[in-house]
């Protein structure tokens, strides 16, 4: 079994925020792979199905970003998962918009959702880092991540989330290189490659 945890803040006021791209990505996975409707559990919303031959639980914590570890930790303990079975999808300031990188462990780079998970669960889980870019000044970060993606960016956000969903089975198999390459090619094919966002 694997746990896919998408990070974000609950509530209508946060739906379009850059900070919520983790929710957007797992919603796309659930929709594209026909997961059942989300239901409340583990201090969040969950949906479960078989993906790539593996049982996958998608979790969207409703504890707010800074307490994401409460929900992720509860679900992981219930199913007796170790960190290698947990994949977290989150916004990444240090990547250009539309870029994706997967890594295991490492620092949290000031991301409070990751910090919360690490505090409660250890650091050796996988992170799917979804690039949102940086505002250029750290004093602007708070308003930037809690601001909505402007209309002009909706196309690349949707393309990215759909590409992540289309290739989620590579994450299940542990083939992160194939996953990253396929997402990159999908973005490039949609016009968001070297002459676009990157």
Catalytic residues, which ones? 19
- For residue 19 the two structure tokens come to 């900070």
Alpha carbons 167 and 181: distance in angstroms, whole number: 10
Task: Give residue for tokens 């998408």.
Answer: 6
Residues facing 40 on adjacent strands: 45
User: What SS3 class is residue 138?
Assistant: helix
Query: Residue 11 gets which letter from DSSP?
Result: S
The dihedral over CA atoms of 26, 127, 59, 163, expressed in degrees to the nearest 10, equals 10
């Amino acid at each position: 079994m694997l746990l896919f945890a998408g990070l974000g803040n609950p509530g209508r006021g946060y739906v379009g925020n850059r900070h919520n791209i983790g929710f957007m990505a797992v919603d796309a996975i659930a929709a594209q792979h026909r997961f059942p409707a989300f239901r409340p559990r583990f201090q969040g919303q969950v949906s479960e199905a078989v993906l790539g031959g593996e049982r996958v639980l998608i979790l969207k914590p409703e504890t707010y970003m800074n307490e994401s570890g409460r929900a992720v930790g509860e679900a992981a303990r219930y199913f007796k998962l170790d960190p290698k079975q947990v994949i977290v999808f989150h916004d990444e300031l240090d990547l250009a918009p539309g870029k994706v990188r997967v890594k295991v462990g490492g620092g949290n780079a000031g991301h409070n959702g990751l910090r919360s998970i690490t505090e409660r669960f250890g650091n050796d889980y996988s992170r799917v880092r979804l690039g949102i870019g940086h505002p250029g000044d750290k004093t602007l970060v708070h308003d930037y991540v809690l601001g909505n993606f402007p209309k002009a960016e909706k196309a690349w956000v949707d393309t990215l989330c759909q590409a992540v969903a289309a290739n989620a089975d590579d994450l299940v198999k542990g083939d992160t290189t194939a996953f990253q390459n396929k997402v990159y090619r999908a973005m490039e094919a949609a016009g968001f490659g070297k002459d676009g966002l990157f």
